[in-house]
Each structure stands twice: as C-alpha cells, then as structure tokens.
Structure 1
Amino acid sequence: MNTRCRKKLAVFDFDHTVIDDNSDTAIVKLIDHKKIPKEIKMLHRSDGWTAFMQGIFEILHENDINEESIRDLIISLPPIEGMVELIYEMTEKLNFDVIVISDSNSYFIDLWLEAHNLKERVLKVFTNPAHFEDGLLKIHMYHLQDSCKLSTKNLCKGQIMEDFIEDQKQKGVTYDTVVYCGDGYNDFCPILRLNSKDVACVRDKYKCAEIVLKAKDGRYTDVHGIPRTVYANVCVWSSGFEITEYMRQHML
C-alpha cells in the first residue's frame, strides 16, 4: 500500500521561460537562410512545427553542420536570470517537484539541463522525442491530439500536466498547489486548468501574460469565440528572482 505524500508541483515551459532564447530558432540560425528551400519554410503551416524542424535538421545535415556544432550552440544558450536559482530553491527548500513541458525536443532540453546542473532537479521532461541517427537529428511528435483546440496537434500541455498529476496520485503523491511558468500562447491551455490555490507565472511583455491578464479579468474570448477565465493567482515576472520572491511571500 502506498504511503501518501503531499507536495507542490512546478511546471516549466523551456524556451523563453527557462532559457532566454528559443532553442529551435537559435538552431535555424546555424544555416544561411538562403539555403533553406521555400517548401521547408512553409512546412510549419501545412504539417506543423515538428515537421518544419525535421526539415531544418535535414538541411543542417546536408550542409555538414554536425552534432558537435548543434550541441555547443544549445549548451551556450543562456538561462533567464534567476531561473536556475529558482529551480534549486523550489526543490531544496519549498517541497516542489519540478517538471518541464515544452514543444522543443528531448535532445535540446536534456543536453541543456545537464550542462547547467539541473538534470537531477527536474523530475520529468515532456517534449517531442529526438535523437541523432547517422549524424542526423530526428524528431517525432510527442503525441497526436485533436481534442484541445487551444494547442498544437503534437502537444497539449494541459492534458500532459493533468495526466502527470493523476499518474502521481496513483503512485501516492498528491500536489496541494501547482505553479505553472510560461510565456507563450501554448501555455494558456494548462493555465486554464489551474484552480484558485494555484499560481500562473507569466513572463512580462510576452503573449501569455497578455492573454492571462485579460482572462483573469473576464475579458478574453479565444479565436473560436469561447470566453475563457483564469482562476489561478497570477505572478507576472521578468526574472526567476521575482518568482522566487513571490513564492517566499505567498507559499511559506
């Protein structure tokens, strides 16, 4: 029989939330824009972002941009100020489990976390799986979904978050509070699933903050004409230190 364990959960996006860049667009800059065929550039509109990135990886491979070059660039991407410290604070002092849910890929995220001594601090990473095969980085969709109209077909962050919480509950771990940290439109879905005990940490001057603040005040209707309301507490941040301060004031 499982012993019940009560903790808090922190869910982080990766690009523009943990790192102060977009890992995918940073990689695209490794190749001369003129060498990317028009049909590859249009892939994200027709087949989705994951298909576009696979096309980019193939162009990089064809132009002899090897794994070492990609690895060095990913490792060099800077964390947002205070984010490494925040994750340490959460896991060491505030009784949090930390997970990452991102539309990047497993190769980028695992590599970066390990290089910045965060691999052991993150309980699990949910993202598009990727690995090198004969010098070519291959990426696959995390899943294929059509139930959430707010999310891309390959990644519904809200469903992933809820499935993880339920899975942990079955293992005897219950989360009293969920803190979600993100910056983009695809972070809106999981934030809508938070309740009044939870916290939505949204990056100042980014899309997610704009939408969440409207939805918190009952002023947001999505592209399908559906009114959306945010019930979670909202922390608007520019650095990880601001989230740390919010946690100390409201969660101790």
Structure 2
Amino acid sequence: MAAPAAAAAAVEVLFDFDKTIIQWDSDDWVITKLGAADAFNRLRPTMRWNSLMDRMMGELHAQGRSADDIRECLRSAPLDAHVLSAIRTASALGCDLKVVSDANSFFIETVLEHHGVLGCFSEINTNPARVDAQGRLRISPFHDPTTSPHGCSLCPDNMCKGKIIQRIQGTDGAKNKHFIYIGDGKGDYCPSLKLGEGDYVMPKENYPLWNLISSDPQLIKAEVHPWSSGEEFERILLKLVNKLITLHAHGSQLDYKCNMSNPVSTEVGHHQTLPVPN
C-alpha cells in the first residue's frame, strides 16, 4: 500500500480566491466597507493594482483604521456554505488543496481561518502582506516587476499564476498527480493553459476565464467543467474528486488520508517561503 504522503498528493485542487472561494472581491469589500472608495476611484487610473492596494492600506491607516479593523471587516463577509463544505470534504478525502490568488496573504488567511478551513490548505500562493511596526498593513507583489519580472504577456506584472502552476507541476511526484483548477478571472487563463490531459479546469460561468476558454476551446487540454453557483461548485468538484480517487484506487491502489496541517504561504522570485500563522 502506498505511503500516506503519496496518496494525499495524488489529487491536487488549486483554488483562486476572489469570486471563487468567496463570492465577492476581497479588495473591493474592504475598500467599500471601510469608506475608502473615493480615494480608490481617484487613484485607480494612475497606479497598478498591487501598488494601489498597498497605497489604499496606507490611506486606511491614515484614517485611523487598524489591522484589526480590516480583519473584522473581512470576517463580516458571507461565504457560501456549499463552497465551505466542498473544501472540507475534498480535504478529508485526502486531496492536496492549494490557493493560487492575486489577493494577499492577510486577506486570505483571515477569511479562511474565520471559517475554519485554513488548515485544509497546504499552500497559499499570493501577494505577501504584513503589518509593519506602525500597525499599517503592507502589501507586496508576488513577483517584483523591477527585480524579477516574470515575462508572461497574459498576466499582470505582479503575478503569473501559470509560473506558479509550473512550479507545482515540477515538484517530486508531479507526474502521478491529477490537477483540478478552479477560477473565474483573466489571470486564471494562463494556469489553465498549463494543465494537461487528465486534468480538469472549473471556470466560473460567464466570467472572464470562461469567456477566454470559450473563445478558443482547443487551446485547453484539460477537461472543462463550468459552474455558476456554490451548489454547482460543490457538486462538480466532488464528482471530479471522487472520479480521480476511484481512478487512483483502481490503478495505483493509493490509500487516501486527510492532511489537515497548517499551510505555508509560498512566494517565489525575490520572496522567501513564510509560515502561515495559526
């Protein structure tokens, strides 16, 4: 019988965060709920998104908003019960769950921890965030465009999700893995192109990723399964997970075991891998 570690890695589920795990955009939620929309709209035409979000955290700090205020704002946002159920079930079945998101580590960890699913994820690949000595939330780019540009024309300059997927695919034992990628945005198209036969992509229907896939379906080697609601998200994901588990059980006789350890935030380029706090 295969070792538990090998079994847990056989099915890998990669999640976008904004408008995928959560129904809303976390940046927009914080900016709107904490009253910074006017400053955001004024600065938006002049700045790249990642730099803009760092600037907006400075605006909130100047208005007297603390990191705890931002945490409470994020905790107040609803999540679909079907999505949470799907995450817990996929993890319990032994899938290796990872986040690949252009949000930031502070927002993602706050939301996932609040809803009790942070430990379901082995990695969170996103823009690094930290609270500085003055109590201001700082957000940095995943790829620093000034020192380590990623060179992908499909992706924003601060993050190429396709390169993240290629790194994951290049890890030990990747040739025995099957990948399920779930996303909605334009930035999720590049990683979808990196998937191969035997993999699956779940685009949110009528969102940019779905539209890009639909414009030329032949470019996608993975099998495409669109979804439009939390209920469909859960049903389709668990159907694909169970299909792959059955495949591995029959083909490789892998023994699945849930890995509920705390995840790590994985950053490449000029960043180091950092542990996610409990």
Quickly name the TM-score band, shorter chain normalised: 0.7 to 0.9
1:167-212: CA deviation from partner (whole Å, max 9, x where unpaired): 3x1xx56543100000000000000111121111011221111111
2-structure distance, mates of 1:85, 1:51? 34
Partner of 1:71 in structure 2? 71
Structure 2 unaligned regions, length at least 5: 247-278
Partner of 2:18 in structure 1? 15
Deviation at 1:36? 5.0
1:9 is paired with a residue whose SS is strand
What is the Cα-based RMSD across aligned positions, in Å? Answer: 2.0
Q: Contact 1:85 / 1:240 at 8 angstroms: preserved in 2?
A: no
Deviates more, 1:54-63 or 1:137-146: 137-146
1:163 maps onto 2:164 in alignment: no
Deviation at 1:244? 3.4
Deviates more, 1:29-38 or 1:124-133: 29-38
Deviation at 1:88? 1.3
Q: Contact 2:98 / 2:121 at 8 angstroms: preserved in 1?
A: yes
Distance 1:175 1:98, change over 3 A: farther
Distance 1:193 1:34, change over 3 A: closer
Q: Contact 2:12 / 2:180 at 8 angstroms: preserved in 1?
A: yes
Distance 1:180 1:238, change over 3 A: same
Partner of 1:24 in structure 2? 27
Distance 1:32 1:249, change over 3 A: closer
Query: With structure 2 as the length reference, what TM-score do the two structures score?
Result: 0.77
Q: Contact 1:165 / 1:175 at 8 angstroms: preserved in 2?
A: no
Partner of 2:196 in structure 1? 195
1:99-140: CA deviation from partner (whole Å, max 9, x where unpaired): 001111111111111111111100110111101111211011
Query: With structure 1 as the length reference, what TM-score do the two structures score?
Result: 0.85
Structure 1 unaligned regions, length at least 5: 219-228
1:100 maps onto 2:99 in alignment: yes
Partner of 1:239 in structure 2? 229
Q: Contact 2:143 / 2:150 at 8 angstroms: preserved in 1?
A: no
1:98 is paired with a residue whose SS is strand
* 1:200-215 map, 5 Å: 200-215=201-216
Distance 1:80 1:158, change over 3 A: farther
1:104 is paired with a residue whose SS is strand
Distance 1:234 1:66, change over 3 A: same
Distance 1:90 1:61, change over 3 A: same
Q: How many residues align?
A: 231
Distance 1:34 1:242, change over 3 A: closer
Deviation at 1:246? 2.7
1-structure distance, mates of 2:238, 2:121? 20
Partner of 1:125 in structure 2? 124
How high is the sequence identity, in percent, across the aligned residues?
27
Q: Contact 1:14 / 1:101 at 8 angstroms: preserved in 2?
A: yes
Amino acid corresponding to residue 164 of structure 1 in structure 2: I
Distance 1:32 1:92, change over 3 A: closer
2-structure distance, mates of 1:160, 1:78? 28
1-structure distance, mates of 2:50, 2:45? 12
2-structure distance, mates of 1:249, 1:112? 26
Deviation at 1:66? 1.7
